[in-house]
Amino acid sequence: MFDEYDVVKAKRKLSDKVLKNSIGTVVMIFPEFPNDYTVEFMKDEKTLDILDIKGEDIKKININL
């Protein structure tokens, strides 16, 4: 289970722009569908894609700022 604003990594290729190991942020959780999330994937401070995905396709990562 993920929380809003969790930083995550794609476990597999999710689109032509979002490849395996792409980094994103959970921006929306759907209470009626607890395993579905909207994630914004970014690279070099630019949005690659915003996708609705299943929890099994991402994993939470820790980043130190």
Q: What is the pLDDT of residues 25-59, one digit of tens each?
A: 999 999 999 899 999 999 999 999 999 999 999 99
Q: What is the pTM of this model?
A: 0.92
Joined tokens for residue 10: 């794609």
Give me the amino acid identity at 55: G
- Of the chain, the percentage scoring pLDDT greater than 70 comes to 98
The alpha carbon dihedral of 27, 50, 61, 36 has a sign of positive
pLDDT of residue 24: 98
Distance CA 63, CA 33 (A): 27
Closest CA to 40 of 16, 22, 63: 22
